[in-house]
Amino acid sequence: MLNRQMLNSLNGLIAFKETVLKEVQECRLYTANYPLLIEHILREAKLYRQMIMELERKGTVCAADIRSQELFWNRIMMEHAQFIQGLLDPSECELMETANGFAKDYCRLLEEAKEQDQKATYALTEKTLQTTKQYQQFKTAGTEGITGCDIRSIILPLLADHVLREANHYLRILEEAQKRQGVKWN
């Protein structure tokens, strides 16, 4: 019952986000949010809906293959870095550069994930895990800097919290995949 209620709410939320995106793209609605941010949260809502539907069908959620997870989450991580860079005060040059560096790192990881064959998976997951650990530290420091009033930006604390929570979520996915791959490869 809870799943079905959630699916109803999710369908409504997805339809709402699609309407907002369409209105923004056709210049009938103006917002300080980037259109890419609206697309980003739309993709996240759709992934969540997929998981709930799978839970409904199978009674459990299987860990999706790590390659498709990496393709999804590396893109999300890359976009977070782009949003952070674009929402920092222009005087925060160093932080902007660091954010840009992470955007490039994830862009490269995305390219590699697209090209990789099965054999390269373990090495790429390891590389992605190391990058995401550093990224999580950057986001933690950023969130503390924003809530502690040490960073100049137009980033809302809730957005800082959102990007940090997703890095934590992705770290867990990567660590679990690595454990599974380790078992398979040894």
Interface residue list for Fe ion (CB under 5 A): 166
Structure tokens given for 78: 């890359």
Work out how close the CB of 84 gets to Fe ion at its nearest, in angstroms, rounded to a whole number: 11
d(C-alpha 128, C-alpha 77), whole Å: 11
C-alpha–C-alpha distance, residues 91 and 50, integer Å = 41
Give min distance, CB of 163 to Fe ion, in A: 6
* Closer Cβ to Fe ion, 39 or 54, answer by number: 39
The residue among 92 and 161 lying less far from Fe ion, judged by its C-beta, is 161
Min. distance of Cβ 79 from Fe ion in angstroms?
7
Q: How far apart are CA 181 and CA 72, in angstroms?
A: 19
Torsion sign, CA atoms 141, 145, 151, 153? positive
* Cβ contact 142:56 at 8 Å: no
Evaluated on CA atoms 157, 8, 72, 30, the torsion sign reads: negative
**Least separation in angstroms between CB 81 and Fe ion:** 11
- C-beta closer to Fe ion: residue 25 or 168: 168
Neighbours of 24 (CB within 10 A): 16
**CB nearer to Fe ion: pick between 95 and 163:** 163
Least separation in angstroms between residue 77's CB and Fe ion is 9
Residue count (the chain) = 186
**Which CB sits closer to Fe ion, 161 or 166?**
166
